[in-house]
């Protein structure tokens, strides 16, 4: 155990811009069994990778052999509430409105690794930012950074929950922090009550198959009728359960310049999305978290939202996507779904032209699937 190295490492982490830093011992996560129960209940929806790598999450030594300590860090992101829905304008979760948080956190962690190796030659370390089998929120609680709220997110009493986490796994014994042993949610259930799709059936009980963020980020391919009509204006992610949390009322805005929200992602024009070229999309998505859903997923979401709102002014853009046989079938099927919900002669004409389309997903959508 090296208390002096621990203090200097924490000081360096804060100097690099992290808002919080804490240390947990490398051990079996306390909530691992609950995670396995969640999987056994089939609540992961289509995220098969969680089940595939479930065993690896039982201990961080699956990521770094000989790991002794887990340094947990957090960065506050974004500023201001989610934009109020307006005609043809979508909503994007705060964390995705700036540069990709993976780059912002990982870059700082890599600098921290360089510093640590200079201070303690021979040390092995690995930076983890949401891409390795680690129960980050569990280790953040063990490191004293906060508690797990009823919406399953980490809540910091001073920073709130609009934070992204990173971890630095090291093979040296650092002085651990006291775990955050208490919850400060009390009897409040605002996050559970506010969920527009009833994705929670109790505290800490999230059904991913009902979560908006699952359907507009993780899900690949055409969207079933129910979720397609139930995105509530969200083009990427969802912040509802965080927007209503009392602990976020006085939370500070983010300080990391990379995570500052961009105007074009804060309130995107969904009709413009549909008409944007592939080259423009490639440039726009560079170094953003929205790359995970890719252009095809975002266009699918835009079409579904415009159809759910029955935006007549979107018909030309939707018809163009449906008519383009080079377009991804998922996008074309979403455009057909949207056009069937819009009562306009141009929409019916576009659907009639695609009635014998060669792609089965498009034919199904044109024939009436999800006509609502």
Percent of the chain whose predicted confidence (pLDDT) is above 70: 96
Q: Give me the pLDDT at residue 362, please.
A: 94
- The answer to whether 72 and 174 are in contact (CB under 8 A) is no
Q: What angle do CA 304, 309, 311 make, to 5 degrees?
A: 95
Q: Which helix (H) or strand (E) holds 164?
A: strand 163-170
Q: Is the pLDDT of residue 132 over 50?
A: yes
- The answer to whether 125 and 117 are in contact (CB under 8 A) is yes
Q: Give me the pLDDT at residue 86, please.
A: 63
Catalytic: 130?
yes
Class of domain 270-367: mainly alpha
Q: What is the mean pLDDT of residues 227-232?
A: 96
- The answer to whether 321 and 274 are in contact (CB under 8 A) is yes
Q: Give me the pLDDT at residue 87, please.
A: 65
- pLDDT band, residue 289 (cuts 50/70/90): very high
Alpha-helical segments (H) within the chain: 3-15, 32-40, 48-52, 101-119, 136-142, 190-194, 212-213, 225-228, 240-243, 263-266, 270-275, 278-285, 294-308, 315-323, 329-341, 345-353, 360-367
Beta bridge partners of 164: 75
CA atoms of 182 and 287, how far apart (whole Å): 37
Q: Is the pLDDT of residue 257 over 90?
A: yes
Q: Which tens digits make up the pLDDT trace of 160-201?
A: 999 999 999 999 999 999 999 999 999 999 999 999 999 999
* The domain defined by 3-78+99-170 carries CATH number 2.60.120: no
Question: What is the number of helices (H) and of strands (E) in the chain?
Answer: 17, 8
CA atoms of 293 and 190, how far apart (whole Å): 29
Q: Which of 130, 171, 243, 359 is catalytic?
A: 130
User: Structural domain boundaries of the chain?
Assistant: 3-78+99-170, 270-367
Q: What is the mean pLDDT of residues 272-298?
A: 96
Q: Give me the pLDDT at residue 2, please.
A: 78
């Amino acid at each position: 155990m090296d208390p002096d190295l621990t203090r200097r490492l924490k000081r360096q982490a804060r100097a690099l811009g992290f808002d919080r830093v804490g240390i947990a011992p490398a051990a079996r996560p306390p909530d691992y069994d609950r995670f396995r129960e969640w999987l056994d209940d089939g609540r992961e929806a289509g995220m098969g990778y969680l089940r595939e790598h479930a065993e690896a999450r039982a201990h961080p030594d699956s990521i770094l052999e000989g790991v002794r300590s887990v340094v947990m860090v957090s960065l506050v992101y974004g500023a201001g509430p989610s934009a109020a829905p307006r005609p043809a304008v979508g909503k994007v979760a705060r964390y995705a409105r700036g540069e990709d948080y993976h780059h912002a956190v990982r870059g700082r962690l890599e600098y921290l690794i360089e510093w640590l190796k200079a201070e303690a030659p021979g040390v092995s370390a690995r930076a983890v930012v949401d891409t390795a089998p680690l129960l980050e929120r569990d280790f953040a609680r063990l490191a004293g950074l906060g508690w797990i709220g009823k919406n399953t997110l980490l809540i910091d009493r001073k920073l709130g929950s609009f934070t992204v986490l990173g971890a630095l796994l090291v093979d040296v014994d650092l002085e651990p922090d006291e775990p955050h042993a208490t919850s400060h949610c009390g009897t409040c259930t605002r996050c559970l009550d506010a969920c527009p799709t009833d994705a929670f059936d109790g505290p800490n009980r999230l059904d991913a198959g009902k979560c908006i963020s699952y359907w507009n980020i993780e899900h690949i391919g055409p969207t079933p009728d129910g979720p397609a009509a139930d995105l509530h204006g969200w083009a990427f992610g969802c912040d509802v359960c965080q927007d209503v949390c009392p602990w976020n009322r006085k939370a500070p805005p983010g300080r990391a310049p990379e995570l500052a929200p961009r105007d074009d992602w804060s309130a995107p024009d969904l009709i413009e999305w549909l008409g944007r070229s592939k080259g423009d999309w490639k440039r726009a998505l560079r170094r953003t978290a929205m790359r995970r859903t890719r252009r095809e997923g975002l266009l699918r979401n835009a079409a579904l939202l415009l159809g759910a709102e029955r935006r007549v002014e979107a018909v030309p853009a939707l018809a163009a996507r449906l008519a383009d046989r080079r377009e991804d079938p998922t996008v074309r099927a979403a455009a057909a779904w949207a056009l069937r919900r819009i009562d306009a002669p141009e929409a019916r004409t576009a659907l009639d032209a695609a009635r014998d389309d060669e792609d089965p997903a498009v034919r199904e959508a044109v024939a009436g699937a999800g006509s609502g």
